[in-house]
Amino acid sequence: MPASEDPVYPATVTSSNIADYPAPDQWFRFIIPIFLHAGIIHIGFNMLLQMTLGREIEQQIGPFRFFLVYFSSGIFGFVLGGNFAATGISSTGASGALFGILALTLLDLLYTWNDRTNPWKDFAFIMLDVVISFILGLLPGLDNFSHIGGFFMGLALGICILHSPNALRKRLDQHEPPYTPVSPYKAGMSDNANSGTVGFIKNPVSFFKGRKPAWWAWWLVRAGSLVFVFIVFILLLNNFYVYRKSCGWCKYLSCLVCPSIPLATTFGIVLTGNRMSTTGAM
């Protein structure tokens, strides 16, 4: 198809503002790539992490919290990549979502540090996974911003939805009910039927009554974390659709050496601002 007839990437429009282009608003591209993978090795590694780390976390915190963190991290990772990744880098897979789950694992370790038998060993394994994944994300053609965004969202949401750190709970003499489990056996839930979210819904006034200052301080941290990540998400979307501002060094967080795409000339691809247009016939 000649460039003059291309309805998506017209060669005559060179503005960096996406509003100047007649392209459709394909917001679903921030969601669908979570389910797409670039080959059997890619999906194999993701499924391995899904069936090990993901399975353990879901059993611990329940399906609703897992679903919330998983998809929020995946979407946020693609939004971050859409803003700052180098032009032409593809981004598919559940890596961003899994990095959110990895962030939950790290938070859970920090919250229960003094109650673990060998916390430094657990910390070393988690950090090894993080470092290896970030290094692999620096390879050409991979979007490390999906990893960074997913990990950031996982940390922010983890502060909001996970139980308070054990040290704080002991200080407040607080005994929170267990998370809603995946298994049909909900041991211990009957003893805490009026605590946690259930207690708040039944009697909001009693839920907040008699709380200590440290409890209020921690809930301010939780609320602040949620508000902060929500504001960042809105700003990123606004930048992607309207301002299209980037930075010269951001691309090196995803690719240390970012050579020009050799196939661009072959297939007639011209980079115009932050977009690509095809100049060859199709």
21-25 long-range contacts, CB within 8 A, separation 24+: 21/275, 25/241
Annotated catalytic residue within 73, 91, 95, 254: 95
Residue 163: active-site member:
no
Annotated catalytic residue within 72, 91, 147, 254: 147
Beta-carbon count within 10 A of 37 CB: 18
Token duo for residue 197: 């979210």
Nearest to 168 by CA among 239, 218, 226, 116: 218
Helix (H, G, I), strand (E, B) or coil at 123: helix
Angle CA 106–112–118, to nearest 5: 85
Residue 233 CA, chain-centre distance (Å), reads 11
**Is the Cβ–Cβ distance between 91 and 81 less than 8 Å?**
yes
Angle CA 131–135–141, to nearest 5: 145
169-200 burial by CB neighbour count: b if 16+ within 10 A, else e?
A: beeeebeebbbebeeeeeeebeeeeebbeeee
**Is the Cβ–Cβ distance between 104 and 163 less than 8 Å?**
no
Residue 175: active-site member:
no
| Residues labelled catalytic | 95, 147
